[in-house]
């Protein structure tokens, strides 16, 4: 590795198990601590998985079901039976759509990966 002046330092705390793992891997590498850490940083990939984007439409649909349930209760309380039936049908359709989306997601989850090489 080229000789460089390093002006920044990083401090971290480890559990006993993490320290043991660090020592085992560091010693096995034959490198000094800085070179070992630099090699680990350069040759690794950190992935952060986010499913928020994938499930946002499902969450939106579930909220719509909640709104429909509130309307159902309101129409039931004021005695508008025909609107109650219409709301039940709307809830059923939305529920079927949400269950389909959820099933699709569970069969093939889509994750956005942030921080990859």
Residues 6+ apart with CB under 8 A from 95: 65
pLDDT (tens digit per residue) in 57-82: 888 888 888 888 888 888 888 988 88
Cut 0.85: pTM above it: no
Q: What is the C-alpha separation between 89 and 11, in angstroms, rounded?
A: 60
Paired residues of 112 in beta bridges = 50
Instruction: Spell out the SS3 assignment of 2-68.
Output: CCCCCCCCCCCCCCHHHHHHHHHHHHHHCCCHHHHHHHHHHCCCCCEEECHHHHHHHHHHHHHHHHH
The answer to whether residue 52 scores a pLDDT higher than 90 is no
Task: Give the pLDDT band (50/70/90) at residue 3.
Answer: low
pLDDT (tens digit per residue) in 28-39: 999 999 899 989
């Amino acid at each position: 590795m080229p000789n460089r002046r390093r002006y920044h330092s990083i401090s971290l705390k480890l559990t006993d198990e993490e320290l043991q793992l660090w020592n085992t891997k560091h010693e096995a590498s034959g490198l000094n601590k800085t070179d070992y850490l630099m090699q680990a940083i350069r040759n690794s990939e950190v992935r952060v998985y986010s499913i928020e984007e994938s499930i946002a439409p499902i969450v939106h649909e579930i909220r719509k079901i909640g709104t429909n349930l509130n309307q159902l209760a309101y129409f039931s309380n004021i005695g508008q039976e025909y609107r109650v039936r219409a709301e039940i049908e709307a809830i059923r359709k939305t529920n079927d759509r949400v269950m389909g989306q959820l099933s699709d997601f569970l069969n093939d989850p889509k994750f956005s990966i942030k921080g990859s090489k």
